[in-house]
Amino acid sequence: MPPSVYLDHNATTPIDPAVAAAMEPYVREFFGNPSSIEHSHGNAASQAVDRAREQVASAIGARAGEIVFTGSCTEADNLAIFGVARAHPDKKHLVISQIEHPAVMEPARILEKEGWRITYLPVDEMGLVNLETLKASLTTETALVSVMAANNEVGTLQPIREIGKLCSEYGVLFHTDMAQLVAYGSIDVERDHIHLASLSAHKAYGPKGIGALYVRSRRPRARLVPLQFGGGQERGLRPGTLNTVAIVGMGKAFAIAQQFALSDAERVRRMCDSFKNRLLSSVEGAQLNGHATDRLANNLSFSIDGIEPLALMRSLRDQASFSASSACSTDKFETSPVLKAMFGDTQRARSAFRIAPGRFTTTTDMDRVLDVMVKEIVRLKAVAPAA
C-alpha cells in the first residue's frame, strides 16, 4: 500500500530539505551561545542569528531590528496582546474577531476579567469581518485591533490592508496573526499598515518551537511591556538564550517562502480547485466553507450532509491525513468556535473537515485521496441510516 498522503499543512508543514541542511551545522559545529560574542564560537552563532533576522524581516517588508524571536507563534500572539495592554494602561479597549486563534482569544478573555472591554467582531457566513462594523467599534480608548490574516480552519483571507489603513487613520495599533500566510502569500507590513505581526516557522516548512513577532519601530511605533524578564535578549522583550538552530531554520524557511510563495500558491491552488470541483460534483450535499475565492491557496474546508468528519478521518487514516478541526484543540471534541461563528451551532458547523495540501503534494496524491474519499463518503452515507 502506498504511504498515507499528508494533507494537513495548515496544522504543520514538513521541514524543507534545504531548511534542514541549513540547520544541521548549528546542531553539531556552531553550538556557541549567540550572546557570547566575545569569542569565535559565540560570534559565529550571533552572526547566524543576525542573518536569519534579516531573512525573516525581508520576507515581510520589515527592518531586521523589528523582529523579535519567540518560542512559537502562540507566544508572539500573547506578547502582542498582553504587551500592548500593559504598555497602555490608560486605554482599556481591545477589538478582535470572533474567529481568532485561541492564542489571541484566550489573552483577550483574561484581559476582560481584568476590566478591559473587549469587542468581538462578528463574521459573515464566509468568515469575513465587516469593515463598517469594525469602524463603528473604534473609540479613543481602543488600544489594539487584532484580526488574523488568514483563517487556519476555513482559509478565508481578511481585508488586512483595509483594516490596517482604518486603524492607522484612527491612531489604533493593528496586530495580525500571519502564521498561515507566509508560505503562500505576499506580505508587506508597511504597505498593509501593520504594526504587529505574529509569525510561525513550522507553518512555512521550518522547524517547530520557533516563532517571531514583528514590532514596528517606525511611526506609529508599537510600544510593548515584556511578559518575561531575564538577560535582556531580544531588546528585553523576550529574554533567554536564543535557539540558534531553530532561528537559522526559520530564516531559511522565510527566505524560501519569499522566493517561491506565489508560485507555490499557484500550483497548490490548481490542485485544490480540481479537488473541490470534483468532490462537489460527485457528492450530494457537499458544501465548501469559507470564501469562494479570497482564501488560502492550500485550504479546502467542506461540510457534507450525513457525514461525521471524525468517522471519515478514522476510516481513511491509512491513506490520508487531514483534519476535522484546528490541531491546537485536539483534546476537545466540540464544535469549532470558528464554524459556530460562521453558521451557528448547526449540522454544517459540526460536520466540517479540512484538506490542506502543500509544497511537496502532487496531483497524483490529490487524485488518489479524492477517489478513496468519495468512495468512503458513499459507503458512510449508505450505512448511516442503519447506524
Closest CA to 174 of 201, 202, 128, 135: 135
What would the pLDDT profile of 147-189 be if each residue is shown by its tens digit? 999 999 999 999 999 999 999 999 999 999 999 999 999 999 9
Burial class (CB in 10 A: 0-12, 13-18, 19+), 29: exposed
Closest CA to 99 of 333, 375, 290, 359: 290
pLDDT band for position 328 (50/70/90)? low
For residue 322, the SS3 value is coil
∠ at Cα 212 (209, 214), nearest 5°?
Answer: 170
With beta carbons less than 8 A apart as the criterion, state whether 197 and 213 touch.
yes
**Of residues 246 and 335, more confidently modeled:** 246
pLDDT band for position 382 (50/70/90)? confident
What would the pLDDT profile of 44-84 be if each residue is shown by its tens digit? 999 999 999 999 999 999 999 999 999 999 999 999 999 99
pLDDT at 312 over 60: yes
Looking at domain 17-256, its CATH architecture is 3-Layer(aba) Sandwich (3.40)
Q: What is the pLDDT of residue 372?
A: 97
Domain 5-12+262-383 sits in CATH at 3.90.1150.10
Amino acid letter for position 182: V
What would the pLDDT profile of 178-199 be if each residue is shown by its tens digit? 999 999 999 999 999 999 999 9
* Mean pLDDT to the nearest integer, 126-149: 98
Q: What is the mean pLDDT of the chain?
A: 94
* Mean pLDDT to the nearest integer, 272-283: 97
Please confirm, yes or no, whether 328 is among the known catalytic residues: yes
DSSP state of 295: B
Instruction: Please give the Cα distance from 368 to 3 (Å, whole number).
Output: 11
pLDDT at 326 over 80: no
Q: What is the pLDDT of residue 250?
A: 98
Strand partners, 212: 69, 199
DSSP state of 70: E
Instruction: Please give the Cα distance from 193 to 161 (Å, whole number).
Output: 7
Q: Is the peptide bond before 122 cis (omega within 30 degrees of 0)?
A: no
How would you list the strands of the sheet with 300-304, edge to edge? Answer: 286-289, 300-304, 352-355
Instruction: Please give the Cα distance from 319 to 312 (Å, whole number).
Output: 11
What would the pLDDT profile of 209-267 be if each residue is shown by its tens digit? 999 999 999 989 999 999 888 988 988 899 999 999 999 999 999 999 999 999 999 99
What would the pLDDT profile of 350-360 be if each residue is shown by its tens digit? 999 999 999 99
Extents of the domains making up the chain:
5-12+262-383, 17-256
Q: What is the pLDDT of residue 387?
A: 43
pLDDT band for position 133 (50/70/90)? very high
Same fold, 5-12+262-383 and 17-256: no
Grid cell, residue 372, equals 478513496
Instruction: Please give the Cα distance from 167 to 344 (Å, whole number).
Output: 29
Instruction: Please give the Cα distance from 281 to 287 (Å, whole number).
Output: 10
Q: What is the pLDDT of residue 219?
A: 87
With beta carbons less than 8 A apart as the criterion, state whether 130 and 137 touch.
no
Helices (H), 17-63: 17-23, 25-28, 40-60
Instruction: Please give the Cα distance from 244 to 247 (Å, whole number).
Output: 5
Instruction: Please give the Cα distance from 83 to 12 (Å, whole number).
Output: 27
